[in-house]
């Protein structure tokens, strides 16, 4: 039986040491500062990116991988006899999933590649990839892994607490007038992702403490005493609220597994520095 291997893209925000340990292949998106283009998490690391972002006068942009980028990875893995599961950034947010699908169509008919739209972003699907890779190394079948991934995807609760509306305004996600007004009033938007994988404004609060309390309230209503896995992601150099957020969530939820990670350059281009992401999964179906 062919061994199962995982492929993802850089917006999963999986730390490099975990990717290497679990044998996860990563196809990078690009971040562009004017005419200068960088490979997300390869030629531009998170700390370097946020330093550039705050000093750059123009608008940083992002671009998806080409089908050829995915084809090269899929071709090598399938030629080596592997069965591939490729989990990508939400198709509603990027053309990355489409590039992966086109790449699959370019392969020989016998190549075993399954592509999954995560309908999520950052470690909201990075955790899906990590869990799938762990199951693959433990000898789980492709069908078992896909079933687990689909279940986790349906149970995920994801919230982004954005420090400033400036970058959402620059990128056209909200109107510039709204961004200015929100900043003047110290409005902290709470963003989430719906079942179709689209970002939407879940709620807003006056000040970070109230926004954190609102997230904790919603999560407690969703999970009650169920044991959960909690990951908190933040932008390097802007972690002031992480310990406070962690303590607040741990007071409200039965957190059995906890980890921290960084929000990478592509997600950070649109959300901006000072963003905190929370990703919560139940540990079991019971």
Can you give the pLDDT at residue 170? Answer: 60
pTM exceeds 0.85 for this model? yes
Annotated domain spans of the chain: 4-29+64-154, 157-282
Domain 4-29+64-154 has CATH 3.40.47.10: no
Condensed to tens digits (0 to 9), the pLDDT of residues 58-117 reads 788 999 999 999 999 999 999 999 999 999 999 999 999 999 999 999 999 889 999 999
Look up the CATH number of domain 157-282. 3.30.1180.10
DSSP letter (8 states) at residue 3: P
> Per-residue pLDDT tens for 48-67?
998 898 888 778 899 999 99
Nearest Cα neighbor of 261 from 237, 238, 231, 229 is 231
Tens digit of pLDDT for each residue in 192-251?
899 999 888 888 888 888 989 999 999 999 998 999 999 999 988 766 688 888 999 999
Cite the DSSP H helix spans in 185-286.
208-223, 242-252, 265-271
Residues ≥6 apart with Cβ < 8 Å to 57: none
């Amino acid at each position: 039986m062919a061994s199962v291997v995982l492929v993802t893209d850089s917006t999963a925000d999986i730390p490099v040491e975990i990717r290497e340990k679990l044998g996860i292949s990563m196809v990078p998106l690009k971040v562009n500062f004017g005419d200068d283009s960088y490979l997300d998490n390869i030629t531009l690391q998170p700390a370097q990116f946020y330093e550039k972002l705050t000093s750059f006068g123009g608008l940083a942009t992002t671009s998806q991988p080409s089908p050829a980028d995915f084809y090269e990875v899929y071709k090598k893995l399938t030629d080596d006899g592997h069965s591939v599961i490729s989990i990508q950034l939400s198709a509603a947010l990027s053309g990355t999933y489409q590039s992966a699908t086109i790449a699959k169509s370019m392969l020989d008919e016998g190549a075993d590649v399954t592509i999954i739209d995560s309908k999520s972003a950052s470690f909201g699907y990075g955790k899906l990839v990590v869990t799938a890779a762990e199951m693959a190394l433990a000898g789980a079948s492709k069908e078992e892994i896909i079933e687990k991934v689909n279940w986790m995807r349906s149970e995920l609760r994801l919230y982004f607490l954005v420090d400033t509306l400036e970058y959402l305004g620059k990128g056209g996600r909200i109107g510039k007038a709204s961004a200015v007004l929100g900043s003047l009033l110290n409005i902290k938007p709470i963003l989430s992702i719906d079942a179709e994988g689209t970002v939407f404004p879940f709620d807003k609060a006056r000040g970070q403490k109230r926004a954190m309390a609102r997230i904790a309230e919603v999560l407690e209503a969703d999970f009650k005493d169920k044991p959960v896995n909690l990951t908190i992601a933040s932008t390097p150099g802007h972690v002031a609220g992480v310990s406070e957020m962690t303590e607040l969530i741990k007071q409200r939820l039965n957190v059995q597994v906890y980890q921290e990670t960084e929000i990478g350059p592509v997600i950070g281009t649109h959300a901006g520095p000072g963003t905190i992401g929370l990703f919560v999964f139940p540990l079991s179906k019971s």
